[in-house]
Amino acid sequence: MTRLRFAPIPASLPATVPFTGPETLERRSGTPFVARLGANENGFGPSPRAVEAMVRSATEIWKYADPDNHDLRHALAAHHAIAPEHIMIGEGIDGLLGLLVRLTLAPGETVVTSDGAYPTFNYHVAGFGGHLHKVPYRNDAEDPDALIAAAREHFARLVYLANPDNPMGSWHPGSRIAAMLDQLPQGSLLVLDEAYAEFAPNEAIPRIDPQDDRVIRLRTFSKAYGMAGARVGYAIGPVDLIAGFDRIRNHFGMNRMAQIGALAALQDGEWLAETRRQVTAARDRIAAIAQANGLTALPSATNFVAVDCGAEGDFARRVLAELAGLGIFVRMPGVAPMDRCIRVSCAPAPELDAFAEALPKALSRARQG
């Protein structure tokens, strides 16, 4: 008789990873990708000041990171003009989502999200015994009305919404997001994922009191700040909820060099502005490549563009596979009708040049079946 025994909830779950990384795909094929355009990483890179700060700190990596994240937390508070008690630092939004679900959701309680939205959130809900209800996208965007209706019907504890949205790049006005708070059922918490907020127009960002106990907002250094590998994210929310993270978080989970790099990145506004400019130019370039191949690029407020391949999901999956065979790593939405698209991350010119060269070949091969 084996001594191995899992706890009941994980024992009931499949051993899955929400995303297959490009490194795994490269190992399978035995060939490195020419263009890494599938993970919504920021190929324009982090601030040189952040890199310099991390290099300087390397000799002190023998030290644990500050478990209070004091310097970064206070800098973020000043950046957002709020008190530090409203901010929690964590290992990227993914890590914070896991902590949030563990902190707020009892086994069997209900969560509402969109079918096709960020799967890592669903992964955490399942991992802590929650029950998921999903609503469809509407016009290639998450549907606030449907989310609210489902939350009321199922007495949802958590309601997840990304604005701007992944995987479609769409966005809602901040006023619409703020209005959702008055429509939530009693006891529901809106989980507002703002990973792409720095790329969005100003009107997409809601004005919400950080002490409002109906919402928690999640931000990251992975996208606009170009530090996906550093795993630095933060939550903004009411003081009591933020303090609750201290009950369960890994207090030495943050990487010391990442803390220091994120602080330097936050202070380099010029680099952030330049990154935004380059991302805007890259979005235009991707749209032009799509148009040149008879495809349609959807409007985007993120650092990626969803490209409509003009047919159903099976065709888009063939395009995706053919691109991979040509050394181009992209991803696609997994749920119809969004799966008619491929999703292409913004990147420097050489990678987009490679995409532009490969796309007509991939389309031709996909059309041949």
Q: pLDDT tens, 97-121?
A: 999 999 999 999 999 999 999 999 9
- d(C-alpha 162, C-alpha 124), whole Å: 16
Do residues 87 and 150 share a domain? yes
Q: Which of 3-17, 78-92, 109-123, 168-182 has the lowest mean pLDDT?
A: 3-17
Do residues 41 and 95 share a domain? no
Which DSSP helix (H) or strand (E) runs through 285? helix 269-292
- d(C-alpha 201, C-alpha 218), whole Å: 17
pLDDT at site 228: 98
Do residues 213 and 187 share a domain? yes
Kindly state the percentage of the chain with pLDDT values over 90: 96
Do residues 154 and 175 share a domain? yes
**Domain boundary, last residue among 240, 267, 294:** 267
- Burial class (CB within 10 angstroms; exposed 0-12, middle 13-18, buried 19+) of 316: buried
Q: For residue range 160-200, what is the model confidence (pLDDT) as tens digits?
A: 999 999 999 999 999 999 999 999 999 999 999 999 999 99
81 has a pLDDT exceeding 80: yes
Which residue matches tokens 């995303």? 19
Mean pLDDT rounded to a whole number for the chain? 97
Say how far residue 291 (Cα) sits from the centre of its chain: 27
Whole-structure pTM value: 0.96
Q: For the residues of 152-201, what is the DSSP string, one character each?
A: HHHT-SEEEEESS-TTT-----HHHHHHHHHHSPTT-EEEEE-TTGGGS-
Do residues 72 and 132 share a domain? yes
- d(C-alpha 220, C-alpha 310), whole Å: 33
Do residues 231 and 245 share a domain? yes
18 has a pLDDT exceeding 90: no
CATH number (domain holding residue 149): 3.40.640.10
Q: For residue range 340-350, what is the model confidence (pLDDT) as tens digits?
A: 999 999 999 99
Cis geometry, peptide bond prior to residue 337 (ω within 30 degrees of 0) = yes
The number of beta carbons lying within 10 Å of the beta carbon of residue 229 is 12
Which residue matches tokens 């030290």? 63
pLDDT at site 350: 98
Do residues 250 and 277 share a domain? no
Coil, strand or helix: which one is 250?
coil
308 has a pLDDT exceeding 70: yes
Do residues 59 and 139 share a domain? yes
What phi and psi, each to the nearest 5 degrees, are found at residue 175? -65, -35
Q: What total of structural domains would you count in the chain?
A: 2
Coil, strand or helix: which one is 235?
strand
Q: How confident is the model at residue 75 (pLDDT cuts 50, 70, 90)?
A: very high
Kindly state the percentage of the chain with pLDDT values over 70: 100
Q: For the residues of 50-81, what is the DSSP string, one character each?
A: HHHHHHHHGGGTTSPP-TT-HHHHHHHHHHHT
CATH number (domain holding residue 332): 3.90.1150.10
Q: Kindly compute the dihedral angle of the four CA atoms of residues 125, 131, 137, 138, in this order, to the nearest 10 degrees.
A: -140
365 has a pLDDT exceeding 80: yes
Which residue matches tokens 């792409």? 196
Per-residue DSSP letter, 138? B
Do residues 310 and 238 share a domain? no
pLDDT at site 19: 85
Q: Residue 31's domain spans which residues?
A: 18-45+270-367
Q: How confident is the model at residue 1 (pLDDT cuts 50, 70, 90)?
A: low
Question: Is 165 within a domain?
Answer: yes
Sign of CA dihedral 89, 258, 204, 145: negative
How does strand 296-297 pair with strand 304-308? antiparallel
pLDDT at site 338: 97
Residues 6+ apart with CB under 8 A from 362: 319, 322, 323, 325, 326, 328
Query: Which residue in 38, 102, 23, 46 sits closest to 258, CA to CA?
Result: 46
- Burial class (CB within 10 angstroms; exposed 0-12, middle 13-18, buried 19+) of 182: exposed
Which residue matches tokens 């990442």? 258
